[in-house]
Structure 1
Amino acid sequence: MRLQNRIQPRPEHPIGNPDALYVHLLQTCKRGYPLCEPGLRFQQREKNDHGVCVGDVGYIHDDGAFIFLLNIFHPDDDVHSEMTSYQPLDRQEMLSADHPPGSYVANGVVETHPRFTPELDEGISALSFRSTSEFGAICALPRGSTVTKLADLSCIREHISRNATKWYRHLRDFAYRSNGSLYVITGVEKSDAWATLTLEQRFREGCCAHLISGEDEEGFDCVWQHGSAVTRWHYSTGVVPPVVSNVLSQTMFLHGFHIGLGAKRWNQFPRSAYGRWHNTTRVARLFSRLPPWLVSWIWSWPRWFANEYFSFYPLSYFHPSRLAFEYLSAKAPEAEVIITHDDEWSSVLNDTDTERPDPAEMLTRIQRKFRIVNENGTVYLAPRTRRWYQFW
């Protein structure tokens, strides 16, 4: 079905960085880390057909795509074959849940309607979104989605502890290798049809955007249309070809571990290998000249400096797990491996948050909810069992 031939969208007015805005706004919806590019970049057709899978290890590229490197459950990966001492992990129990057709995830939208005024042909449906916010982001799932997660994360944490250094050592010449950048996927939300939209409008009466979708013998298709109140907008749609329609390959949201190495282990790598995450802000340079015990003490009060410390991060580069990783790195300078999970930063978001809080506020919430655990050199966060102020 080719809806573009029936209903033409209005001309597109690009937002400065629509993909970054989309990711930034939808993080507060607690569905995981949003991917603005749901497809997977990989050379093998088989991997492209299945998309991001639980157990994949990779990183988020500058443009928002997930770059696959290896899978912890597959013994035949090329990367594993070159690491003679590596032992893949046995398959683990999975949990799954479905979101029904017509589902959506949105930020800045005040109401939705299943249909709108214009008469539509048989087999074509529409979903209308109304927004009064200056910025808005929508991820529509006209055919629903499926969420798959690992039932138990503890075994993955142990496996990461044993192999993190091997992975970083093997990938030391990789262009985007930087400490804390590796991502081990523990949950995915996939669909075979999706439509995303970011918009900006400056009119108090609000604006409307409509997703029109339909299916017939030619296949499934969807297209965006919006009202004149939108000043700038950016849209994207995707449908899996019929040849692989029985496989959900388009990944909309990720859950996973971010892994990094402690300072001593990381400093064993050549300095030229440092990636884009090497912090060069004024506060970071100051901290680098202080003794570790003093830096650890200062990080107990992130409200003093966190916004300045993270000011160098462009919006498109920022992943909230970076906050927890930097916090753990400073608080536990003796760590060998540092592990954070997406469930940690998403759990401190409030229902009233219309966008991700600033770094100082996020770190303060994380600090109040979680304690630091050092388990044989592996440092991670665990929920507090007492009031946060009883530990100080």
Structure 2
Amino acid sequence: MDDSFSESEIYCNQLMRRRRGFPLYVPSPPENLPIEYQKHGVAIGDVGSITPEGIFDFYFNIYLPADHPINDNDVPENFYPLIPYASKSLTSLVYDPGDSVSTSSVFPGGDFVFTCAAPQGAVLALPHGAHLKKLKNLEVERQYVAAHAESWYKHINGTGGRGLQNGSLYLVTGCEKAYSWGMASFYSTRDEFQLKFSRTPKANSSNRYRWRGVQGCRDPSQHKNYDPYPINDAPLNQTTFIHGLSISLGVGIWGKLFGTKVGIREIVESRLGGGDGYGNMSRTPGSSFFSWSLGLLGGGGFTGKSYAGENGNVVLSGFPPVVKVWLSVTFVAPVLRRPFIDISSCGDNQ
């Protein structure tokens, strides 16, 4: 990567390396969504996409009825909710206050002082810790997605007019949330510099955390923070990482719905984000960085388990830890005898 990439691209690309999930550059729920949604933010069962700004773009939740205030009757044709999961089906994990997530180019010190090395890196500071909830078994969800993926794309791209690329639709199966956070990312030619995320004692501030410059050190990073006051009254609606399934329709199904023109791309990589960097790779025209990178993480082109979809096979692929060469060749006219839907895990090793 280089300095031509946006803040959100650099941040998400860098922290994906930590395998803690897919990092959202905008953890706050959008203000245009229902109040009920804003109270809790991203939830397990949400179907959505990721915008170029690093926002999770919510469409509907598969566990809620169509007339629920969160779904607001904006659901695909013939939609019916999936039976909610039991609490024992969840993996729950609490990260202690003072936790941080950073790339290997960032070296944490005491009291959120980070020493950063060129050329690029990112860090997420969590003053009040974080809470992770993730589904243990996804078999029921996979079967449900396989049966309805076509109608989802048809609704979102047709009625909704979103124009999603194939493979850029996701079902959330886990999310990590925090009460407060500080994000920083950088691309710099400097050998080393320091970042500091510390308390700022002021009246009625309860020692709120802010990014502060280190004396005598130029700060080339892009950073932001969220630390509401009082913290005890803040809702747990800031989503820092998500886990889920990326959903792709087979060429035949996609061509039937939206036409047959698709892209051709070749990716040669030794490891995610390594090698010559993304600046020398080609992306499918019109696709976002996030759909491209999540497609890579999702394991498109790798072997997986087959499911029976509505109009053909469903291929479920895991998350490959190392990607060497991925050649994706698609056709102007579909020639597959058995179209498939590809549902790939993103954000972890499920």
Same fold, TM-score > 0.5, yes or no: yes
Distance in 2, Cα, partners of 1:268 & 1:244:
52
The one-letter amino acid paired with 2:160 is: F
Match of 1:321 among 294, 314, 339: 294
The answer (yes or no) to whether the contact 1:35–1:251 under 8 Å persists in 2 is yes
The answer (yes or no) to whether the contact 1:49–1:244 under 8 Å persists in 2 is no
Counterpart of 1:6? none
How far is the alpha carbon of 1:261 from its aligned partner? 1.3
The answer (yes or no) to whether the contact 1:201–1:230 under 8 Å persists in 2 is no
1:175-194 to 2 correspondences below 5 Å: 175-178=161-164, 179-194=166-181
Distance in 1, Cα, partners of 2:116 & 2:302:
38
The answer for unaligned runs of 5 or more in structure 1 is 1-13, 115-125, 285-298, 350-359, 365-374, 383-392
The answer (yes or no) to whether the contact 2:107–2:114 under 8 Å persists in 1 is yes
Distance in 1, Cα, partners of 2:281 & 2:188:
30
3-state secondary structure, aligned to 2:162: coil
| Bigger Rg over Cα | 1
3-state secondary structure, aligned to 1:320: helix
Counterpart of 1:357? none
3-state secondary structure, aligned to 1:46: helix
3-state secondary structure, aligned to 1:322: helix
Distance in 1, Cα, partners of 2:33 & 2:343:
34
The answer (yes or no) to whether the contact 1:35–1:65 under 8 Å persists in 2 is yes
Change (3 A) 1:175 1:317: farther
Distance in 2, Cα, partners of 1:39 & 1:381:
25
1:343-354 to 2 correspondences below 5 Å: 344-345=319-320, 348-349=321-322
Cα shift readout 1:347-390 (whole Å, capped 9, x = no counterpart)? x05xxxxxxxxxx62649xxxxxxxxxx99555579xxxxxxxx
Change (3 A) 1:279 1:379: closer
Distance in 1, Cα, partners of 2:314 & 2:252:
10
Q: How many residues align?
A: 306
The one-letter amino acid paired with 2:141 is: I
Counterpart of 2:198? 212
Counterpart of 2:126? 141
2:49 is equivalent to residue 62 of structure 1: no
Which one is further off, 244-253 or 44-53?
A: 244-253
The answer (yes or no) to whether the contact 1:63–1:316 under 8 Å persists in 2 is no
Distance in 2, Cα, partners of 1:325 & 1:175:
27
RMSD: 3.6
TM-score (norm 1): 0.67
2:99 is equivalent to residue 91 of structure 1: no
Change (3 A) 1:135 1:150: same
Counterpart of 1:47? 37
The one-letter amino acid paired with 1:199 is: F
2:233 is equivalent to residue 239 of structure 1: no
Cα shift readout 1:176-221 (whole Å, capped 9, x = no counterpart)? 33221211000101001000011344333x2111111268854462
The one-letter amino acid paired with 1:147 is: L
Q: Percent identity?
A: 23
1:1-392 to 2 correspondences below 5 Å: 17-41=6-30, 42-75=32-65, 76-77=67-68, 78=71, 83=76, 85-92=78-85, 93-114=89-110, 126-171=111-156, 172-178=158-164, 179-204=166-191, 206-213=192-199, 218-219=205-206, 221-227=208-214, 228-230=216-218, 232-240=220-228, 242=230, 245=233, 247-271=235-259, 279-280=262-263, 283=264, 310=283, 316-323=289-296, 324=298, 326-327=300-301, 336-340=313-317, 344-345=319-320, 348-349=321-322, 361=324, 363=326, 379=342
The answer (yes or no) to whether the contact 1:55–1:184 under 8 Å persists in 2 is yes
3-state secondary structure, aligned to 2:225: strand
Distance in 2, Cα, partners of 1:25 & 1:217:
35
3-state secondary structure, aligned to 1:327: coil
Distance in 2, Cα, partners of 1:233 & 1:378:
40
Distance in 2, Cα, partners of 1:197 & 1:243:
21
The one-letter amino acid paired with 1:212 is: S
3-state secondary structure, aligned to 2:239: strand
Distance in 2, Cα, partners of 1:72 & 1:380:
16
The answer (yes or no) to whether the contact 2:103–2:122 under 8 Å persists in 1 is yes
Counterpart of 2:272? none
Distance in 2, Cα, partners of 1:161 & 1:222:
44
The one-letter amino acid paired with 2:295 is: R
Change (3 A) 1:130 1:165: same
Distance in 1, Cα, partners of 2:256 & 2:232:
45
Cα shift readout 1:83-139 (whole Å, capped 9, x = no counterpart)? 56322111212221011000000114453222xxxxxxxxxxx32111223222110
TM-score (norm 2): 0.74
Cα shift readout 1:53-73 (whole Å, capped 9, x = no counterpart)? 111001001211001110010
Distance in 2, Cα, partners of 1:381 & 1:57:
14
Distance in 2, Cα, partners of 1:314 & 1:81:
25
The answer (yes or no) to whether the contact 1:265–1:336 under 8 Å persists in 2 is no
The one-letter amino acid paired with 2:252 is: K
3-state secondary structure, aligned to 1:170: helix
